[in-house]
C-alpha cells in the first residue's frame, strides 16, 4: 500500500515537473518572439525619424534627389504613346 502511494506521489511530482518545464520553454520562446517584434518596431520608428529628418534637410544633395524624384514622377504620369498616333487609335 505504501509503495503504491509512493509511486502515485512520484508520478504526480514528475507530471508537475514536466508541466513546469513546458511552461518555462513556452515563456522563453514567447520572450524571444516578443523581443524580435519589439526590435523590429524600434528599427522601424528609428527609420521613420531618420527619413523625416533627411526630408526636412536643406542639404544640396537632398534637394537634387527631390528634384530627381519629382521628374521621375512626372515622366511616369505621361502616356506611353502620343494621343494622335496610330498605335493609340487601336
- The per-residue pLDDT for 75 is 86
Mind listing the pLDDT tens digit for each residue in 8-59?
Answer: 777 777 787 888 899 999 999 999 999 999 999 999 999 999 989 988 888 8
Give the start-to-end residue ranges of the domains of the chain: 2-75
Does the predicted model carry a pTM greater than 0.75?
Answer: no
Report the pLDDT value the prediction gives residue 6, as an integer from 0 to 100. Answer: 75
How wide is the angle at C-alpha 65 spanned by C-alphas 64 and 66, nearest 5°? 90
Q: What pLDDT score was predicted for residue 54?
A: 87
81 Cβ neighbours under 8 A, 6+ residues apart: 87, 88
Residues 6 or more apart whose Cβ sits within 8 Å of residue 62: 54, 55
pLDDT tens digits for range 50-80: 989 988 888 888 889 889 989 988 888 877 7
Amino acid at each position: 500500500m505504501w509503495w503504491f502511494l509512493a509511486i502515485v506521489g512520484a508520478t504526480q511530482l514528475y507530471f508537475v515537473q514536466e508541466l513546469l518545464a513546458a511552461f518555462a520553454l513556452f515563456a522563453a520562446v514567447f520572450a524571444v518572439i516578443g523581443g524580435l517584434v519589439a526590435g523590429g518596431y524600434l528599427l522601424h520608428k528609428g527609420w521613420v525619424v531618420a527619413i523625416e529628418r533627411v526630408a526636412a534637410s536643406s542639404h544640396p544633395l537632398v534637394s537634387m534627389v527631390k528634384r530627381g524624384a519629382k521628374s521621375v514622377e512626372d515622366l511616369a504620369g505621361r502616356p506611353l504613346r502620343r494621343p494622335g498616333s496610330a498605335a493609340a487609335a487601336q
